[in-house]
Structure 1
Amino acid sequence: RERLARKERIMGFGHRVYMRRMDPRAALMKEVLREMAPGNPRAARYLEVAERGERVMREEKGLYPNLDYYAAPVLYALGVPVPLYTPIFLAARTAGLVAHVVEQHAHNRLFRPRVLYKGPRGLKA
């Protein structure tokens, strides 16, 4: 609540597609964390904290968590080192990013202007 009062952005919320309902992928990761909790004190603690944060953001901002909000505590509870989170999150998105590039080139249209492909040109899909 203090961070919200300072108008700071809270990471893990505000997916552009799932603004008014929970990202179904986040719901699945939340359930994984919930299933881990009984035998894993670390998972139980992070579930408690994450649910509290989710409740506050819904009440204060009307926002729901995105996938990464619950994926991070699951990885932490599994003992995955924090420096590996970004590569894991990127690896999970690679197929989608590549599909966007292929589709853009096939239609000679930029669908997502924030994505800038800087690799080699002329590759056949």
Structure 2
Amino acid sequence: MEMLLEAGDEDGLERLIREKLARKERIMGFGHRVYMRRMDPRAQLLKETLAALVAQKGDPEGEKLVRMCQRGEDVMRAEKGLFPNLDYYAAPVYWVLGIPIELYTPIFFAARTAGLVAHVVEQHAHNRLFRPRVLYTGPRGLKP
């Protein structure tokens, strides 16, 4: 959402995306490990939800967001062959609903809590710690 706000309009978003691509920067809201060759069906549902919410509210600013998102989607597909992920359309849906940006990450995490708890239960049931395939690079040795 911050990227959309920074861009301001469709042309601004296209310019911002192209500038980031030229600098080899990642574009937030694009790419997914599973949905590489097609659009994430959850993103498609949120895209439709965004359009429906905006139409229901009759909000010109929301209509601009829909056009901006479509432009960004078109540019990324043409330039990188990437489809939007769930977050690309979740952010403007939250925005149109009036949810503050600082709550987007907690919403993301809360939606995954049941799955995380299920993993813990499974680990305890098998008396085995399943290690994620990631490398922690954050600070170490911090004291509470």
TM range (shorter): 0.7 to 0.9
Residue 115 of structure 1 deviates from its aligned partner by 9.2
State whether structure 2 residue 87 is matched by structure 1 residue 68.
yes
Residue equivalent to 1:36: 53
What secondary structure does 1:64 align onto? coil
Specify the code of the residue in structure 1 equivalent to 2:46: M
Residue equivalent to 1:110: 130
What secondary structure does 2:91 align onto? helix
State whether structure 2 residue 73 is matched by structure 1 residue 57.
no
State whether structure 2 residue 107 is matched by structure 1 residue 88.
yes
How many residue pairs get aligned? The number is 116
Match of 2:34 among 14, 17, 27: 17
Specify the code of the residue in structure 1 equivalent to 2:50: L
Query: Could you tell me how far apart the structure 2 residues matched to 1:44 and 1:37 are?
Result: 6
Question: In angstroms, what is the RMSD of aligned CA positions?
Answer: 2.0
Query: Could you tell me how far apart the structure 1 residues matched to 2:87 and 2:24 are?
Result: 21
Query: Could you tell me how far apart the structure 2 residues matched to 1:79 and 1:110 are?
Result: 38
Query: Could you tell me how far apart the structure 1 residues matched to 2:114 and 2:130 are?
Result: 17
Query: Could you tell me how far apart the structure 2 residues matched to 1:59 and 1:26 are?
Result: 18
Q: Gapped runs of 5+ residues in structure 1?
A: 117-125
TM-score by length of 2: 0.72
TM-score by length of 1: 0.82
What secondary structure does 2:130 align onto? coil
